[in-house]
Amino acid sequence: MKQTIAYFLITLLVFFWACSPADNQLTSREESEGWELLFDGETLSKWKAYNTEEGTAGWTAEDGTLAAGGEGSDAHGYIITNEQYDNFDLKFEWKIAEGGNSGVMYHVIESENFSTPYLTGPEYQLIDDEGYPGELKEWQKAGADYAMYLPDDAKKELKPAGEWNTSRIVFDNGHVEHWLNGKKLLEFEAWTDDWFERKNSGKWDNAPEYGLSSVGHISLQDHGSRVWFKNIKIKELADKEKEEVELFNGKNLDGWIEYGTEKWYVEDGLLVCESGPDEKYGYLGTERYYKDFDLSVDFKQVSDGNSGIFFRSTIDGRKVSGWQVEVAPKGHDSGGIYESYGRGWLHQIPDDMEDYLKEGEWNNMRIKVVGSEVTTWLNGQEMTKLDDPAIGKANGRIALQIHDGGGIKVLWKNLVLKPL
């Protein structure tokens, strides 16, 4: 009888061993469920160095693992996926050298405006909690949403340095979960009042674009110590139906950020932009990022009217990087597209279409941005239809502009956005 039980157990173990998938491969079930393998065990074909098209920042395929060379630092040593992801379930196995420090970031924006991925991408912290040579705050420990949300210590079972851990990040239409070795350590909702309060009161108060993007690259960090990954798998999750957003509530500037010293205020239920004493550029940008959308805005040019609506843009003081739908006096291309750095005008309005702007009256501007394609309408007339790869790669805020030179006053109302 004992021999029969022993034989049965051995047979069962052999069966499960034979059915267990090899490293860096998908099972037939995972394939049918839509999982994608981000590392095949041999090449870095799905990865690239951040902000360059050359090399892999010291990362190599090593004995079936994706390995950091340990020569990176806070300023360099990052790789990112070639593709971008919005809603996803990401699983990976990792081990770290004694005293090591690393991380996995997501929704990373690749741009020369940002020197490192962590300036835009939230991070699942990977670190040797016990052996790290410096003092660690709780928000720096393994499993944390770095400098934002803490893991539940009661559920945390971290393997020591040199042993494999299994982690998981879920981003599902703003709902975020961190898992470690089969236990859910934390969960939160991105872009809530609580999220913004944490972002604006801690480490990220000087990183204005941190965590705002809803789509971007996955990034791995070499932070000066060796770390190894395998079985990196991602499954894209479905987008939920997005509700229409009123960007302006008619009462105050909640949901907006002022840049520069020009005047932005609410009067009689209208949003007013007016030149200030400095007579310089000024911007009013949304707190949130909006990538694909259909936006309708009513505007009335009281004086001069040299303004504009930026999209997929980032702002640093009075420096804006992105694209502007022109709002300007007649004869100055309202509805055209201007790039604020590099190329300048991408599309200007023919002279015979300038009369669609109604001087001194309310006008409607509609802007639809999907992928790399931008379409604008002024008072129902299509003004621009543009397909541009650089726009397709970008993400950012919507922002209203006051041009420099002084003497400008423009009224705005009915700023309604439909996320797409």
Q: If you write DSSP's letter for every residue of 95-115 in order, what string do you get?
A: EE-TT-EEEEEEEE---TT-S
- Asked whether the predicted pLDDT for residue 263 surpasses 70, the reply is yes
| pLDDT score for 82 | 97
Of 333, 363, 357, 245, the residue nearest 294 (C-alpha): 245
Same domain membership, residue 305 and residue 157: no
Same domain membership, residue 329 and residue 249: yes
Of 387, 376, 263, 398, the residue nearest 322 (C-alpha): 398
CATH number at residue 322: 2.60.120.560
Residue 139 lies in a domain: yes
**53 exposed, middle or buried (CB, 10 Å; 0-12, 13-18, 19+)?**
exposed
| pLDDT score for 167 | 98
- Asked whether the predicted pLDDT for residue 18 surpasses 70, the reply is no
| pLDDT score for 10 | 54
| pLDDT score for 9 | 52
Of 81, 70, 22, the residue nearest 48 (C-alpha): 81
Looking at the structure of the chain, the number of domains it has is 2
Same domain membership, residue 128 and residue 256: no
Of 366, 343, 363, 346, the residue nearest 355 (C-alpha): 363
CA gap 306, 185 in Å, rounded: 51
Same domain membership, residue 255 and residue 108: no
CA gap 57, 68 in Å, rounded: 9
Same domain membership, residue 302 and residue 249: yes
Final residue in a domain of this structure, among 236, 265, 292:
236
Please, which residues have CB within 8 angstroms of residue 23's CB and are 6 or more apart in sequence?
A: 41, 64, 230, 231
Residue 132 lies in a domain: yes
Residue 59 lies in a domain: yes
Residue 361 lies in a domain: yes
Same domain membership, residue 205 and residue 301: no
- Asked whether the predicted pLDDT for residue 46 surpasses 50, the reply is yes
Final residue in a domain of this structure, among 207, 236, 265:
236
Same domain membership, residue 297 and residue 230: no
Q: Where in the sequence is the domain holding 150, given as residue range(s)?
A: 22-236
Q: Supply φ then ψ for residue 121, to 5 degrees.
A: -100, 125
State pTM to two decimals: 0.90
**2 exposed, middle or buried (CB, 10 Å; 0-12, 13-18, 19+)?**
exposed
| pLDDT score for 245 | 97
Please, which residues have CB within 8 angstroms of residue 78's CB and are 6 or more apart in sequence?
A: 49, 50, 57, 72, 116, 117, 219, 220, 221, 222
Residue 215 lies in a domain: yes
| pLDDT score for 316 | 86
The tens digit of pLDDT for each residue in 55-113 reads: 999 999 999 999 999 999 999 999 999 999 999 999 999 999 999 999 999 999 999 89
pLDDT band at 48 (very low <50, low <70, confident <90, very high): very high
Contact 74, 223 (CB under 8 A): yes
| pLDDT score for 8 | 53
Same domain membership, residue 182 and residue 93: yes
Same domain membership, residue 411 and residue 303: yes
Residue 353 lies in a domain: yes
pLDDT band at 318 (very low <50, low <70, confident <90, very high): confident
| pLDDT score for 14 | 45
In the chain, what percentage of residues exceed pLDDT 90? 91
Final residue in a domain of this structure, among 213, 236, 259:
236
Residue 85 lies in a domain: yes
Same domain membership, residue 85 and residue 35: yes
Residue 378 lies in a domain: yes
Q: Supply φ then ψ for residue 30, to 5 degrees.
A: -60, -40
Residue predicted with more confidence, 349 or 2: 349
Same domain membership, residue 214 and residue 85: yes
CA gap 269, 272 in Å, rounded: 9
pLDDT band at 1 (very low <50, low <70, confident <90, very high): low
| pLDDT score for 16 | 43
- Asked whether the predicted pLDDT for residue 391 surpasses 70, the reply is yes
Same domain membership, residue 253 and residue 227: no
| pLDDT score for 7 | 55
- What mean pLDDT comes out for the span 166-185? 98
- What mean pLDDT comes out for the span 246-263? 96
